[in-house]
Structure 1
Amino acid sequence: MNILLFVFIIIIASILQTSTGFGFSILATPFLLLLFEPREAIQINLLLSLVISFSLLRKIQNDVDFGVVKRFVIGSLVGLPIGMAVFLWLDIGRLKLGVSITIITLTLLLILNVRILQTKRRDGLTGGLSGIMTTSIGMPGPPLLLYFSGTDTQKETLRATTLAFYLFIYACSLIIQVVFAGTNSTVWKSSFLALPLVFLGMYAGQRLFHWVNPGLFRVFTYLILLFTGLYLLMEN
């Protein structure tokens, strides 16, 4: 394993997650796949993301939209087993290709200012898509981020609501992954070694959050999504 690359991935992804409410799995997973086998990369991501969500949510729980979280959870209960089936049965290269095309297409729609009317049904659908992407490739963020960006949700609400949902989705996905795909010592040792890096990134991210204005936040969102989508596409 390339230690320097591992350190860089974890710190930068932790900063993004803390300062924006998304970013750890979106940035970390593609690069962790360079260092670990798919099962290991996804489970390391799930473990560290769970730690971040739990650590941050206590401080920002007053900004959570619990009604939306509830509908996300209900939708994800359908998506989680579907995602696990996709992970077990689909070639990882085809899976990453499909995810990359989806991310790039939806991001371009956002850049073109395509708006999404938020409804209860769409909340559930978004939760379902997030569930599929979490157990299949460890990335629940893209559906939520694209949905919230399209609805002009304030960054405080976006960060808090996604973190509350992540706490549920990451825990469930980790359990499902371990039960159906198995695990090994590499996952747990690497996650333990990464914890100090995660807390360092969280500290830096908290400081950056108050300096991110809505316009910059939106541009940054698009850049991260396009970068991730193009990276996954080029990997194939």
Structure 2
Amino acid sequence: MELFAGFTLLQLAVALATGLVASFVRGLAGFGLAIILVPVLALALSPVEAVLTTNVVALLIGGTELPRLLREAEKSAWTIIGLVFLTTLPGLMLLAATPPDLARLLIALVALSAFAAMLFPVREPEQPGLVTTGLTGAASGLLTGFAGMPGPPVVPYYVGRAIPRQMAKSSMILIFTFAAMIGIGSGIAIGEMHWRLALLGAMLLPVVIFGTWLGRKADGRVSDRTWRIFVGLVLGAAALAALVKLL
């Protein structure tokens, strides 16, 4: 039975519950909104709807934090954002042309790849070279379009280095906010961004704000090592849950 903008009660319940969990992880880890929300939403909505709804939520919540993000983010974030702008539209076009079941499987595998990248040892704090940064930005844009997940390349780039936790979190969230805006623009360009998805994203915003607040409260109680372990566990659990459901 349709209750809101063409969505059923089950779809709304899945979106609200997953949004709360994903935003708590976002507040604690600095990422996780898309990596958790997209694979689960894609089981209740079409993959394209899941990606674009998550982009709406990410843009709205990131916009409320923009002044702080601009102060704290590493300069490399702007290079990555520029490359995301160039590569998001091709990724979204590929998603629109991919059969839904295959797209769901690939999205789950993308989340799993981020977990695998977190298994590498923590690197020195120095910013990686232009090639590494460029590949990170290009991959992030393609995955923003195809999976609504700019995070899998970006999380290891920042969390895998011995830089201050707050700088890593702010850099990632700044990228995710701009990636969401670019993703929505790409959705409009190919005719896949519909008003009902914007409404669903806006409806999720209060839940996401509350969950993010809870996550930040918890963040002050954990060490950097515990934080990095938590990041890895979240990535692995989200990917495995989506894969088990699909298979």
- Corresponding residue SS for 1:118: coil
1:115, distance to aligned residue in structure 2 (A): 5.0
TM-score by length of 1: 0.88
| Cα pair 1:63 1:161 within 8 Å, conserved | yes
Q: Read off the aligned partner of 2:222 and give its amino acid letter.
A: V
Post-superposition shift, 1:60? 4.2
Of 75, 80, 83 in structure 2, the residue corresponding to residue 72 of structure 1 is 80
Shift of 1:28: 0.7
TM-score (normalizing by structure 2) = 0.85
How much has 1:191 moved relative to structure 2? 1.9
Distance 1:112 1:131 in 2: 23
* Counterpart for residue 66 of structure 2: 57
Deviations 1:74-109 (A, max 9, x none): 322332132123212222333343444454355335
Secondary structure at 1:111 match in 2: coil
Is 1:152 equivalent to 2:147 in the alignment?
A: no
**Aligned-partner SS, 2:207:** helix
Tell me the distance in 1 between the aligned counterparts of 2:41 and 2:112: 20
**2:59·2:180 contact (CA, 8 Å) conserved in 1?**
yes
Aligned: 1:228 with 2:231: no
SS of 1:124 mapped into structure 2: helix
- Can you list the C-alpha shifts for 1:186-217, whole angstroms capped at 9, x where unaligned? 31332232222122112222322222321111
- Give the whole-Å Cα distance in 2 for the aligned partners of 1:59 and 1:71: 19
1:219: which partner in 2? 229
Contact 2:158 2:172 in 1 (8 A): no
Out of 24, 27, 41, the residue aligned to residue 18 of structure 1 is 27
One-letter code aligned to 2:170: A
Structure 2 CA distance for aligned equivalents of residues 189 and 165 of structure 1: 23
* Partner in structure 2 of residue 135 of structure 1: 145
User: What's the counterpart of residue 198 of structure 1?
Assistant: 208
> Which is further off, 206-215 or 26-35?
206-215
Larger helix percent: 1
Rounded to whole Å, the distance in 2 between the matches of 1:232 and 1:164 is 26
Change (3 A) 1:71 1:182: same
Match of 1:107 in 2: 115
- In the TM superposition, residue 178 of structure 1 has moved relative to its aligned partner by 2.1
Question: In 2, Cα distance between the equivalents of 1:112 and 1:73?
Answer: 24
Question: In 1, Cα distance between the equivalents of 2:174 and 2:115?
Answer: 24
Q: Counterparts in 2 of 1:84-99, with a 5 A limit? A: 84-99=92-107
The reply to whether residue 210 of structure 1 matches residue 220 of structure 2 is yes
* Closer/same/farther in 2, CA of residues 182 and 212 from structure 1, 3 Å limit: same
CA change 1:74–1:185 in 2 (3 A) is: closer
Aligned in 2, Cα 1:108/1:184: closer, same or farther, shift over 3 Å? Answer: closer
**Alpha-carbon distance in structure 2 between the residues aligned to 1:100 and 1:13:** 15
Letter in 2 for 1:89: A
The letter of the residue matching 1:110 is M
Amino acid at match of 1:7: L
What residue in structure 2 maps to residue 4 of structure 1?
Answer: 13
1:132-175 per-position Cα deviation (integer Å, ceiling 9, x unaligned): 11111111111111222332332211111112222221111111
The AA in structure 2 aligned to 1:187 is L
